[in-house]
A and B are shown apart, each in its own frame.
Chain A
Amino acid sequence: MTLTLDIEKPKEKSPIVTQTLFLGIGLALLILAPLFFYPVFLMKLLCFALFACAFNLLLGYTGLLSFGHAAFFGGAAYFTAHAVKEWGLPPELGILVGVVGAAALGLIVGYLAIRRQGIYFAMITLALAQMFYFFCLQAEFTKGEDGIQSVPRGHLFGFIDLSQSTNMYYFVLGVFVIGVAIIWRIIHSPFGMILKSIRENETRAVSLGYSVRNYKLAAFVMSAALTGLAGGVKALVFQFATLTDVGWQMSGEVILMTLLGGIGTLIGPLFGAGLVVTLQNYLATSEFPVTIITGLVFMVCVLVFRRGIVGEFYNSRLGRKLGFEHRQ
């Protein structure tokens, strides 16, 4: 009996194999990338990609649109820069300070924001992040308009010199891979399943007995902490932390990266971040303001391209054949 069943089962290549293959190619490309591109550009890209992936944990997998993630990104950049420069901490501890700081901020903002839903949630996070911006503008340790300048990169674990750009690149790549792996682990855990059920139908999740508030808050803090990881590393890459990273425009940028790459896809934000960062680099030398393009891309994405690049690929024939699935 079991034999016939086995025969009737359609033979398909396991999607795991192709996905692992894609993963391997992607990693190999990232490892070889410094041979072809300017390392600082790549490091910026990876920092923003991790930022967008962390943001997507909240928007794509929990259904919460935060308009205030710049506070965690820029905040962590300040914390890390301060810890490394003023306290003389090594880079790994400096980044830890950034992560913990961002998580603490996330706890406060999240605690207040989850009291309202949907559109209000977005407005509250935006307003609280703006409040943090004004705090950074006036606080002593952020050095106001100048920002914290010439932050030393230091030696990782005491012996890897991060002022070497190759060393720094592989350190950033390592952090990025670990960050994405953590996100992957979260969304494939039972906890992640509950997050998705909140996204799909919050009322139902409540009626099933889940304490939705606590789950939302936990997701918010995790997202903030991972955002802090990206922000802390960015402060070491550029060796400064300024007000730009805490402004509301930054919160908008990360939304765009996620939307463009594909909301609710694990690696979509990487592509979105790649496109936006490339665009910014390309337009940096011209007089033409980036915001016009960013704004237009935003409008077009929302009107006709809501699945994003990776989402569209998953939904295409080829994507489905390769065993990807994506629901919006």
Chain B
Amino acid sequence: MSTIFGIPMQAFLGQLLIGLINGSFYALLSLGLAIIFGLLRVINFAHGAQYMLGAFFAWMLLSHFGIGYWSALIVAPVAVGLVGAVIERTMLRRLYTLDPLYGLLFTFGLALTIEGTFRYLYGASGQPYATPAALAGGTNLGFMFLPIYRGWVIVFSLIVCIGTWLVIEKTKLGSYLRAATENPVLVQSFGINVPFLLTLTYALGAGLAALAGVLAAPIYQVSPLMGSNIIIVVFAVVVVGGMGSIMGAIVTGYLLGVAEGLTKVFYPEASNIVIFVIMAIVLMIRPAGLFGRDA
């Protein structure tokens, strides 16, 4: 059995894989947060709740209507995106002229309400969600055993992240979004419907969170608390990356996921605080974040 730094190769690679998977979720979630913050100047505390909603929608579609994973991968994010659009249009919109802190507080209340409702309806324990048949099983890579679904999560989340980045950097819609981030008043005066862009952005961010939720459903249990457990870590990821760049959010997500996984190999006791420790160090050395522009 080969070892690396005195650790069995298998354990090392196994944790690296888990780190990459966690990193996929951190990347997807911090990407959505960064997009929403860029345009709306709102930190979406409900992002964790929307992630949980995505997973729950997938579970409900399967258990109540027999609609499977592949459809859920599209239906759940669209549904959560629509809910997000309604919330933005009816409530969140009123807060844009105020201190951004009110947006944080509002979405915090929203998260509590959603989470409380699901805990009331389904209890705090998790619901299992079966891995789709096409992705069940695993493959032996020679040096380690890779469950196919986990590989799929890493590949698919990479595709989604890069796709979103391309949409924002390379398309006309993306250029409107970027312009509205810089100067919404000017963009509006060019005849572009900025309020609609804002709604679209919030729906897109919420949909991304829900997509991450559907992806997570077969790996973690579908539970009402899954969102609040992850959102605080994602906030730390966002502080480390700085919200100035979309690519920065993605890269930081994967990096910190891997860092967390590796800590599990070398010093397990610190694995659930390592991201916060990295955040503290980054704050001391480079307060604006790794990819951030000074605000």
Contact = CB atoms under 8 A, between A and B. Distances in A.
B109 A298 contact: yes
Interface string B88-111: 000100110011111011101111
Nearest to A306: B102
Contact of A122 (B101, B117, B283): B101
Contacts of A135: 273
A112 interface: yes
B83 to A, nearest CB: 14
B280 interface: yes
A291 B115 contact: yes
B277 interface: yes
Contact of B105 (A126, A130, A255, A290): A255
Interface size bracket, B side: 35 or more
A115 B94 CA distance: 30
B295 interface: yes
Nearest to A129: B232
Main secondary structure of the interface of A (DSSP, over half): helix
Interface residues of A, number: 39
A124 interface: yes
A180 to B, nearest CB: 24
Nearest to B37: A119
Nearest to A292: B116
B289 to A, nearest CB: 8
Nearest to A120: B239
Interface string B139-153: 000000000000000
Contact of A116 (B119, B120, B283): B283
A119 B43 contact: yes
Contact of B279 (A127, A297, A299): A127
Given A119-B101, A124-B279, A295 B109 contact: yes
Interface of B: 37, 43, 91, 94-95, 98-102, 104-106, 108-117, 119-120, 228, 232-233, 235-236, 238-239, 269, 272-273, 276-277, 279-280, 283-284, 287, 295
Interface of A: 65, 112, 115-120, 122-124, 126-128, 130-131, 134-135, 138, 248, 252, 255, 259, 287-292, 294-299, 301-303, 306
Given A130-B276, A289-B116, A296-B109, 17 more contacts: A115-B284, A118-B99, A118-B100, A119-B43, A126-B232, A127-B232, A127-B279, A128-B276, A130-B233, A134-B273, A290-B116, A292-B113, A292-B116, A292-B117, A299-B110, A303-B91, A306-B98
